[in-house]
Amino acid sequence: MADIDSQGLFWLYQVPNLALAALMYTLLGRFVLSLFFPPDSEKVIWKTFCQITWPAIAAVKLVTPIVVHERVVVLLAFTWVLFLRMIIFVVFAAMGLLPKLTGVGPA
């Protein structure tokens, strides 16, 4: 098998992983902010978090009953993104495309 880094496959795994990690922690940040700000707050930080996370929350709302509170939907979106990251990891590991650590462990 060819070197993964020489083929650029390192970024094939890392870019989606890092993007999903950023979304996941932004969702977590939105949940924490929702404990301090009302849903109709005009604070810039709240509006920014809402705009960034809205696509993920809208996707989760498609499969979530309408009676579920908005804060719970944010946590569900966090969970779905976490599962998606795990699936990406398992798929890349099964294909042998995960980046390998070099120079670690006994020689």
Question: Model pTM?
Answer: 0.84
Percent of the chain with pLDDT over 90: 73
pLDDT of residue 96: 84
Rounded Cα distance between 79 and 60, Å, is: 10
Q: Which two tokens stand for residue 98?
A: 């995960």
Separation of alpha carbons 106 and 87, rounded Å: 30
Q: Which residues of 8-17 are buried (b: 16+ CB within 10 A; e: fewer)?
A: ebbeebeeeb
| Structural Rg of the chain based on CA atoms | 18
- Whole-number pLDDT of residue 71: 95
> Is residue 62 within 8 Å of 82, Cβ to Cβ?
no
More confident residue, 31 or 101: 31
